[in-house]
Structure 1
């Protein structure tokens, strides 16, 4: 039985029955009921894309292209009626993303990309919100990511963001690596290096340390982590929707869940200070003596000052890397 308070109520069960989502919508979206009484969202297409793009494989969802007498469609079908409320939220989110598109091909790409965003949520997600320290760290990395997006474009910048996957450095490019440290502005003038690999040299790559102040503030000042994430998501949706899947994968790896409430925390963030980690830069470098591992230590900001560089110089190095 389909509840009356859903967009599928009134559709006939036992056959394929559809209802247009919105007569004024730019693209042809339909609420649908499939033969097994499963509810679905349908996007009617003029043509099937060639080659067909990869489709997300999600537990309790079936996502496929199909050619019907009226033409080809993409459908997203729910196989677990217990998740009906969540599925409606997913569908409305997918529609909203697709409606931003100027062409049908772009609408399809955005719809698929937004469906990929839900892969992590529908397989369980995180039970708890990120701690304050984890929020600060993620915000710091996103601030550096925004600079790289402006330099390289979204796709290569997001691909270079390796910190959430557990890589030794937060960003790994062809000839450069960047480690990011977020600190409280009023704290002691140190940053915590959590292992001996974070500032270790990488063969044939330059290494940079970015340090930002990320401070908790009271409303109405600052922004929540959700707002910081949404800003980048909206940027990708406007400029390079093909990067959204990687973006969401990284957020999921970092422990960010779109359904968590981050409204109790608001943050302001400084522009990052960059340092060239080279020569006599103060650090414990790998390899360390045999039998010693998992080192952590405090690095004094004053000791880093001689190695300070500004973003313009670093950006020139990065642009040179692209042109090389």
Structure 2
């Protein structure tokens, strides 16, 4: 396929790997490239491969890989569908802009890969706007439960269990049980909203709990912004298991979170979650529904859930088979 003349790849020779440096004044070694099949690509030349090598996003029309060439290692992003070359150029320039801010090559690589994860979210149909107040509240609640799990399992395992961002019916799915998270204002009416009939549906062979957290908006200097909450978790992951930082970024992107957005106008405090065991007599809409009825939304009175309440210690014991005596 012929590369259009009005793109950065025009003039590069197809049939071999041909490159042109993006800018002599750039801090890092970025190259426009044409791959052997005349595919447009962006290349970041590296002095060494990162250790460990991070996970990379998987996109339908893009190939993103590390490769070691005679001249040294590279990261490349290759476009497989040339009809999308205009959008691909925008992606490449955004990735480079993110990387150029970095003060080290490793940070430039991290920022470049992190930005591709955000494009991964957008190209899957995600949104580019700042999360609404309600969406922030929900994400803060889920992160709080994630932090509890990370006290008893590795960050990688906890992130694997956090299935809500990918569209799964439950927010957290572990080997022994599932957790559905509900965030609400402490002063709100004592009800929680259930978005569909699947959120509290039984899962064969697993226990199910509903975690309810009071998440309240406060004024400076109290509480933390969503960005600060995310940064705290990022730092904890970096200290214990840095290889999964990109998986954390991907989960956040799937939630619609972008660190480039301004969240300084909202500050949050979070109370300890209350857990409720969802059993046969728990107040809920039970599947299967009447034929022709679906996408049911309803509210549950927390007062009616009181007989099913238990502590995090009880949930933790069931999930991890730990001794509940303290």
> TM-score normalized by structure 2?
0.74
Asked if 1:188 is matched to 2:189, the reply is yes
**1:121 aligned partner:** 118
How far is 1:67 from its partner? 3.5
Does structure 1 conserve the Cα–Cα contact (< 8 Å) formed by 2:96 and 2:112? Answer: no
Distance 1:275 1:112, change over 3 A: farther
How far is 1:157 from its partner? 0.6
Distance 1:293 1:208, change over 3 A: same
Asked if 1:264 is matched to 2:292, the reply is no
**1:171 aligned partner:** 172
Distance in structure 1 (CA, Å) of the matches to 2:63 and 2:24: 18
Asked if 1:87 is matched to 2:96, the reply is yes
Structure 2: segments with no counterpart, 5+ residues: 1-18, 34-40, 79-87
1:147-173 deviation line (CA, Å, top 9, x unaligned): 111111101110011111111111011
Distance 1:94 1:43, change over 3 A: farther
| Paired residue secondary structure (2:175) | coil
**1:64 aligned partner:** 66
Distance in structure 2 (CA, Å) of the matches to 1:284 and 1:35: 56
**1:32 aligned partner:** 29
How far is 1:202 from its partner? 0.8
**1:44 aligned partner:** 47
Aligned residues: 284
**1:130 aligned partner:** 131
1:36-65 deviation line (CA, Å, top 9, x unaligned): 7x99654323x8989x87655678997533
Distance in structure 1 (CA, Å) of the matches to 2:297 and 2:99: 42
| Paired residue secondary structure (1:134) | helix
How far is 1:174 from its partner? 1.2
Distance in structure 2 (CA, Å) of the matches to 1:195 and 1:152: 29
Indicate the RMSD between aligned Cα atoms, in angstroms: 3.6
Distance 1:91 1:60, change over 3 A: farther
Does structure 2 conserve the Cα–Cα contact (< 8 Å) formed by 1:130 and 1:256? Answer: yes
Any residues of structure 2 matched to 1:1-324 within 5 Å, and which? 31-32=28-29, 34=31, 41-45=44-48, 55-56=56-57, 64-68=66-70, 72-75=72-75, 80=89, 84=93, 87-93=96-102, 95=104, 98=106, 115-122=112-119, 124=122, 126-320=127-321
Distance in structure 2 (CA, Å) of the matches to 1:257 and 1:239: 23
How far is 1:225 from its partner? 1.2
Does structure 2 conserve the Cα–Cα contact (< 8 Å) formed by 1:126 and 1:257? Answer: no
| Paired residue secondary structure (1:141) | helix
Does structure 1 conserve the Cα–Cα contact (< 8 Å) formed by 2:171 and 2:179? Answer: yes
> TM-score normalized by structure 1?
0.74
Does structure 1 conserve the Cα–Cα contact (< 8 Å) formed by 2:219 and 2:267? Answer: yes
Does structure 1 conserve the Cα–Cα contact (< 8 Å) formed by 2:194 and 2:297? Answer: yes
Distance in structure 1 (CA, Å) of the matches to 2:250 and 2:221: 30
Structure 1: segments with no counterpart, 5+ residues: 1-12, 22-30, 100-110
Does structure 2 conserve the Cα–Cα contact (< 8 Å) formed by 1:184 and 1:213? Answer: yes
Distance 1:117 1:85, change over 3 A: closer
Distance 1:17 1:261, change over 3 A: closer
1:62-109 deviation line (CA, Å, top 9, x unaligned): 75333346xx3334689848965752433445848x47xxxxxxxxxx
Distance in structure 1 (CA, Å) of the matches to 2:243 and 2:283: 40
Does structure 2 conserve the Cα–Cα contact (< 8 Å) formed by 1:113 and 1:244? Answer: no
